[in-house]
Structures are given as C-alpha cells and as structure tokens.
Chains A and B, each alone.
Chain A
Amino acid sequence: MVIEVHDLVKQFNGTTAVDRLSFTAQRGEILGLLGPNGAGKTTAIQMLLGIIEPTAGSIRVFDHDIATHRQAILQRLNFSSAYVSLPQNLPVIDNLRVFARIYGVRNWREKAMGLLRLFEIDRFATRKTGQLSSGESTRLHLCKALLNDPELLLLDEPTASLDPDIADKVRKLLRRIQRERGITVLYTSHNMREIEELCDRVIFLHHGRKMAEGPPREVIAKFNQQSLEQVFIRIVRDGELQSADQKSEP
C-alpha cells in the first residue's frame, strides 16, 4: 500500500476541517479527492505532505509514518498545485536545476530537458518563468513534480488555470506517464469530467467527512445519477440539508 490514512482528524480553532477520514491508495492507482471548497481536500493533502500536523489519526506513506519519516517519504514523492508557483524571475531551466539538486537528480540537465520536451515547453528553457503563460507554467510545475521520478504524486487542482485544450493534453500526458511509470496519484479537482476520465477511484468529501468512495462508475450508479457532477451536486446539497437538520434539532 502506498498511502494508508486512518481516522484522520484536523481541527482548526474548534472547526473540523477533516473528520475521521480513512482511505488507502495502491501502487499505480489514480485516486481522486473530490468535494466543494472547504471540504478538506487540500488540508488532507497537506497533512500527507507533513506541512500540517493532524489533530488525531495516522498517515502512513510507503509503509512509514509521516510523523517520524517525513524526509525519507518526501524524497520519494512530489507535489504540484495551482496555488503555488516557481520563482518567476528565474529562467525555467534554473528552477528545474535547483529542484533537481534538492532531490539529488543525476544528469539533471538531460532529465530536465527531457521533461520539458515531454510537456512541449523545451523552447522556453532559457525564458524567465514569469514570462510563461498559465498553461506553460502549469506544465513546468508538472516537470518539477516529475524530476525525482516520484512513486507518489500529489496534485492539487493542477489544471485549474488551464483552457480545455491544454487541460486535455495535460490529462492525457499525465495518464500516459502514470501508466508507464506505475506512479500512484492523489488528485484533487473541481472538474468532475476530468476526474471521471482520469481517476480509478474517487473519494467524495464534504465538511471533512467521507461521503462516498469507489470507482467513478460505481459511485455514479450508487447514487442513481448520470455523471459525477450530478453526484457531486447531490452530495453537497444533501450534506447541506443534513447539516441544517442537525442544527435545527432541539
């Protein structure tokens, strides 16, 4: 098992962001973490990365506890998010050079150029990162995330700022790389079609709680809906109703 999360809880000043979340991810699996804003997806990913400390529960990655083996775990995974950037004033190749050195990548230039070619942005290698379009910048983040040949990739809304054409290209490329290398991917997105296309299994979160889990088709069937988007809407609205009911109870 690549990820084993058991009874994970995170509270911020009395507000529960993640509520007794348990899940696993196997080698080579793409697991989608879905939910509305504030569902706890990003908090869960950040606990997996060890930058947020859980209130309770355990996280094991590569059979090691993140609390005690954080550095060794981080060496074997990587992360990309639409909400973080690489230094804008450095050339593309220099950004990759720095991270290649951090991760101890051999033949870094060859590796970096190979990834830039793969994502069709090699012609921008010497250009300043700040001069890239958001699509090119997202692809650069994915190059950074693949530099250390990660066994686990945590992608937090990686296609959030992309137009449909580039998003489609990135998804296909990610799927190809993931299959070729057997990478485990934990993926969050608001784009349900993207999740349906990409993920082997999905977990729906609402108010930090797991509301549903399974392969996209099974989840769609279980909720008697036509698409994940409809499941999403139903879970969110039912969840709101439940919350309202609980609040109105004497």
Chain B
Amino acid sequence: MSFRRITALLLRYLLLYRQSWTRIMEIFFWPVMDLLVWGFLTAYLLQFGYNRVPALITFLIGSMIFWDLLYRAQQSVTISFLEDVWARNLLNIFVAPVTISEFLTATFTLGVIKVLINGLVLAALAWLLYAFDVFQLGFTLIPFVLSLMLMGWAMGMFTVALIMRWGHAAEALAWGIPFLVQPLSAVFYPVSVLPAWLQPIAWALPSTYVFEGMRQVLATGQAPWQMFWWSFGLNLVYLVASAFFFRHIFTLVRRKGLLAKLGME
C-alpha cells in the first residue's frame, strides 16, 4: 500500500468539501435535524412527568449521536465510491495504479475524519440544547466509537460490492443498508423489546453491544467490558467477511466487465 496514493484519494474527497458549502452543510444538516427531533420528542415526554423520562432523554440523545456515527462511517465508504460513479471518474481511478486496499483505506480515513467532526458537533449541540454530556461515558466512549466505525466500514464495503455488482439499480442501498440494521441493533430500545426470535439476530450484530453497553454505562456507570469484546470480535468477523465478499465481487465484476460499464454509464 502506498501512503502517497491513499492521501491523493483522500485529497480528492476533501477537495470536494472545500468547493461546496452545500456538501459541508450536508454533513451537519441531517444529524442536527435528528438531534432536534429526538430532543424535542424527549422534551415533550418530559411534560408527562414520567419518573424515568430524564434517563430516557439521555438514552435517546446518546443513541441518536452514536447511530449517526455508525451511519457516517458507512456513508463515507459508499458515497465516496458513488461520487466517482456519478462523476464518471471511476475508470480514471481504477486504471491508475491504485489498489483496492488503497481505495478502501482512503474512504475509511475519510470516515474517521467525518465521524470525529460529526461527533464533536453533535456532542456540543446536545450539551448546549439538552445539557447532555456525551463525555460522561468517559473512557468507554473510545471503544464504543471505534466499534461503530469498524462496523460502518464493514457495511460500507458490503454495500459498495453490491453497487459494483448491480450498478445504478443498487445505489439506493447506500442509504438503505444502515436502516436495515437499525431496528435490529437496539439503537433506541433494549434488545429485550424485540420478539424472541429476532433477539439472536440482534445479538449477532456488533452495534447491538455498543448501544446496550452505552445504556448500561449511562444507567450504572459501569463499563461493560464483555460487551466491548463481543462487539470487537464480531466486528473482526464482519470486516473479514466483507473484505472477502468485496474481493469476490471485484473479481466477478472484472470478469463480467461490469466495473467498466459502471464507470462509463
């Protein structure tokens, strides 16, 4: 892998932001809107005076912030790929001496940057608007965020592979795949709420451990190390599986000429 080529690709994605205020706004717009909706919803619930509502507020806002981080990590991989498809620049990239691993590393790095920026903005807004301090999670914040990022990368690789294979028809998956995972990840509610037959599926997702773990930290102040390890272990499995799937699809699309077709349509 060449550091120079990775930074060149990263530069290409970052330059897009320098050129466009709408793109910069897009990074913040949806998360801020989500934060407002969830924040106002919980403020409304507070009017009913339920005993557990203050805890619920922290759960919901914390969950919303974490969900957005997972979503951004996945989007950084898929949207970077789609940017090149839409710009009909894909072939320029893939006929340059860029390896797939360099391309993916650049998109992963972009994900780290986006997640950090997004996380900080959301954390600041949550604190200002709802007095929610995400840093009350303390040291556990680091493995939580890292775990969500790893899962976002795995989902991103999987999604890009599907888009390579099925072309423009599969583009909607870039936004759809995360929302397929969301109800099963116990983002806004505990796994116990899910029907019994869905619970094993939920526990097979790394994100479920992060969201359950986050609630546990907020409720008890205890770091759920077992959940971290499960989450990381599963992430490792998903990352390796996604990488193999991606490689398999890449070989297939080269054989079928689909990459060239996608790059010229």
User: Residues of A with Cβ closer than 8 Å to B?
Assistant: 10, 12, 17, 42-43, 46, 49-53, 71-72, 74-75, 78-79, 81, 83-91, 94, 97-99, 101-104, 128, 144
Question: Contact check: which of A43, A52, A85, A99 meets B88 at CB < 8 Å?
Answer: A85
CA–CA, A10 to B98, complex, Å?
Answer: 24
* Complex contact A51–B8 (CB within 8 A): no
Q: Does B96 interact with chain A (Cβ within 8 Å)?
A: yes
Question: Contact check: which of A46, A83, A102, A128 meets B98 at CB < 8 Å?
Answer: A102
Residues of A contacting B: mostly = mixed
User: Residues of B with Cβ closer than 8 Å to A?
Assistant: 4-5, 7-9, 11-12, 15-16, 19-20, 83-84, 87-99, 251, 254-257, 259-260, 263-264
Residues of chain A lying within 8 A (CB to CB) of residue B84: 87
Work out how many contacts link A and B, with CB atoms closer than 8 A. 100
CA–CA, A75 to B16, complex, Å?
Answer: 25
Residue of A nearest to B256 (CB): A12
* Complex contact B264–A102 (CB within 8 A): no
Starting from the known contacts A46-B260, A98-B15, 9 additional A-B residue pairs (CB-CB under 8 Å) come to A10-B257, A74-B97, A75-B97, A87-B87, A87-B89, A90-B15, A97-B15, A98-B9, A102-B4
Residue of A nearest to B88 (CB): A85
| Contact (A43, B97) CB under 8 Å given A89-B20, A101-B8 | no
CB distance from A173 to the nearest CB of B (A): 21
CB distance from B25 to the nearest CB of A (A): 15
* Complex contact A83–B88 (CB within 8 A): yes
CB distance from A38 to the nearest CB of B (A): 13
CA–CA, A185 to B89, complex, Å?
Answer: 22
| Contact (A97, B11) CB under 8 Å given A51-B91, A89-B19 | yes
Residues of B contacting A: mostly = helix
* Complex contact B259–A99 (CB within 8 A): no
Q: Can you pick out 20 interface pairs between chain A and chain B where the beta carbons lie within 8 Å of each other?
A: A42-B260, A51-B259, A51-B260, A51-B263, A52-B257, A71-B97, A72-B97, A78-B95, A79-B91, A84-B88, A85-B88, A86-B92, A89-B19, A90-B16, A98-B8, A101-B7, A102-B5, A102-B8, A102-B96, A102-B98
* Complex contact A87–B16 (CB within 8 A): yes
Residue of A nearest to B87 (CB): A87
Question: Contact check: which of B88, B91, B97 meets A103 at CB < 8 Å?
Answer: B97
| Contact (A101, B95) CB under 8 Å given A81-B264, A83-B264 | no
Residues of chain B lying within 8 A (CB to CB) of residue A12: 256-257
CA–CA, A46 to B260, complex, Å?
Answer: 7
Residues of chain B lying within 8 A (CB to CB) of residue A88: 87
CA–CA, A51 to B100, complex, Å?
Answer: 12
